[in-house]
Amino acid sequence: MIRVNENYLKLKSSYLFSEISKRVSNFQKDHPEIEIIRMGIGDVTAPLSSGIIKAFHNGVDDMASEKTFRGYGPEQGYDFLRNAISENDYKSRGADISPDEIFISDGAKCDTGNIQELFSADIKVAVPDPVYPVYVDTNVMAGRTGIMNGSRYENLIYMDCTIENEFIPALPKEQVDLIYLCFPNNPTGAVITKEKLKEWVDFAHKNRALILYDAAYEAFIRDESIPKSIYEIDGAKEVAIEFRSFSKTAGFTGTRCAFTVVPKNCAAYDSAGKSHSLNDLWNRRHTTKFNGVSYPVQRAAEAVYSPEGKKQVNEIIDYYLENARIIKEKISGMGYRCTGGDNSPYIWIYTKTKSWDFFDMLLNKLGIVCTPGEGFGMCGEGFIRLSAFNSRENVIKGMDRFSKL
Ligand code: MLT
């Protein structure tokens, strides 16, 4: 008899963004005349910039000629892209990450979801609350949690992120083995200082724990004192894996390209206490389960690091950051307390109302889609998230509609 993985039965019936899109399409079916403004999911709206598109086209042309055609590429990614990342994202910021510590993939969602396969089923996992649901759900699927009790899974350590701690979690008091951190944070938009991040790195060393650091939104950091990578912190290479993405940085949500950094001296331990290289284990997993990102897409991603690419990508990020500024100014002017939006595309708004009720009210009254904070965890109740990934026109229209509240 074929049996299911019963861990799946512990999950909420649908993924947060699927639930939102179901509610939005039902609403649109009933009200086809309403032009909905989508400020929910963080999906980019600006097209790929011309420098990237040119490289993408050239990559496609290479595939049309016998001389330049490529079949299977290296599972870990082409050297031209791994070298560009190592130089531009790391070495230029004083972080010594070499190309063979970088694994190209089709998305940070997949990588943050898949990475937990490397770890034992009985480790203690700590996640912030609110949290990007992928970190939690994939650990539920793997059987690392108990059932949902109230709005939290048993056997998972939740680190509260609240107005009081400015959405930066405190170090856990108990022993934890795997810690998920995300900065600039999804969903709160909070950023972390080097000093605070150093406390986490030291904590991981002391507890022989590992930090999974999601830096998918680093491109939005404009304050030079804020770290873009955890490897800007001394000692991080031994205790942290970092996830990056071209999705929000360069508009690749539909094109798909990301990467994960697993330093060579980053280790995890077996039951006898012997250490094992996570770079080797991730390489083993990657080569077994993944066949690489397509060649033209990697050529397009490489172009993000050309002088033209850097300039164009920066302009697009500036555009989204200006959207964020407009949203934050409007919403805080209406008396709502908000965070994020400065070094982040997300604005986290305290509505003091049940967040799904606020979601329904915004959709029904104003035709605006937000993300209800409760979808990210118990501490998100009473909040909503607005995304700045939109056209200026829609942002202005959306903010005008807010005036009607
Ligand atoms: C979000 O809106 O939180 C993100 O777009 C989700 C994702 O990147 O998968």
Query: Could you report the per-residue pLDDT of 280-335, keeping only the tens digit for each?
Result: 999 999 999 999 999 999 999 999 999 999 999 999 999 999 999 999 999 999 99
345: which DSSP letter? S
Atom of ligand 1 nearest to the CA of 134: 9
CB of 227 closer than 6 angstroms to any ligand 1 atom:
no
What SS3 class is residue 347?
A: strand
Q: How far does residue 130's CA lie from ligand 1's centre (Å)?
A: 14
Q: Using 50, 70 and 90 to split pLDDT, how confident is the model at 15? A: confident
Give the C-alpha separation, 313 to 291, whole Å: 28
Question: Tell me, what DSSP letter sits at residue 366?
Answer: I
Ligand 1 atom at shortest distance from the alpha carbon of 253: 8
Closest ligand 1 atom to Cα of 40:
2
For the chain, give percent helix, strand, coil, nearest 5.
45, 15, 40
Q: Which protein residue has the closest C-alpha to ligand 1 atom 5?
A: 42
Asked whether the predicted pLDDT for residue 261 surpasses 90, the reply is yes
For residue 42 and ligand 1, the question of a CB distance below 6 A is answered with: yes
Interhelix angle 392-402/307-333, nearest 10 degrees: 10
Measure Cα distances from 223 to 193, 201, 218 in Å: 10, 21, 11
Work out the angle at residue 364's Cα, subtended by the Cα atoms of residues 322 and 334, and round it to the nearest 5 degrees: 45
Distance CA 391, CA 145 (A): 40
Percentage of the chain modeled with pLDDT above 90: 98
User: What mean pLDDT comes out for the span 68-96?
Assistant: 97
* DSSP secondary structure string for all residues of 213-250: EE-TTGGG---TTS-SSGGGSTTGGGTEEEEEESHHHH
What tokens were used for 211?
A: 């930090």
Does position 4 have pLDDT exceeding 90, yes or no?
yes
**Nearest-angstrom CA–CA distance, 203 and 176:** 10
Mean pLDDT across the stretch 139-154? 96
Helix ranges (H only) for 334-388 are 355-361
Residue 405 has pLDDT above 90, yes or no: no
* Residue nearest ligand 1's atom 4 by CA: 42
- Closest C-alpha residue for ligand 1 atom 9: 109
pLDDT at 12: 87
Q: What is the 3-state secondary structure (H, E, C) of 107-123?
A: CHHHHHHHHHHHCCCCC
Q: What SS3 state is found at 346?
A: strand
pLDDT at 14: 84
Q: Is 41 in the pocket of ligand 1 (CB under 6 A)?
A: yes
Q: Which pLDDT belongs to residue 13? A: 79
Let me know: does 371 contact 222? Beta carbons within 8 Å: no
Closest among 18, 27, 14, 20 to 373, alpha carbons compared: 20
Whether ligand 1 lies within 6 angstroms of the CB of 186 is answered as yes
Q: What atom of ligand 1 comes closest to residue 132's alpha carbon?
A: 3
Q: What is the whole-number distance in angstroms between the Cα of residue 328 and the centre of ligand 1?
A: 20
Ligand 1 neighbour 138 (Cβ under 6 A): no
Q: Counting beta carbons within 10 angstroms of the beta carbon of residue 41, is it exposed (0 to 12), middle (13 to 18) or buried (19 or more)? A: middle
Q: Which atom of ligand 1 is nearest to the CA of 109?
A: 9
**279 CA distance to ligand 1 middle (Å):** 26
313: tokens are 């990508």
Rounded Cα–Cα distance for residues 362 and 279 (Å) = 46
Which residues have CB under 8 Å from 143's CB, separation 6+? 5, 7, 121
Average pLDDT on 207-236 reads 98
What is the rounded CA–CA span in Å between residue 162 and residue 160? 6
Q: Which of 109, 138, 135 is nearest to 10 (CA)?
A: 138
Task: Calculate how far, in angstroms, residue 89's C-alpha sits from the geometric centre of ligand 1.
Answer: 22
Asked if residue 400 has pLDDT above 90, the reply is yes
CA distance 350 to 383: 4
CA 44 to chain centre: 13
Instruction: Determine the distance separating the centroid of ligand 1 and the alpha carbon of 42, expressed in angstroms.
Output: 5
Q: Is 185 in the pocket of ligand 1 (CB under 6 A)?
A: no
Pocket test of ligand 1: the residue of 41, 182, 220 to mutate, having most ligand atoms within 8 Å of its CB, is 41
How far is the centre of ligand 1, averaged over its atoms, from the C-alpha of 47 (Å)?
A: 18
Mean pLDDT computed over every residue of the chain: 97
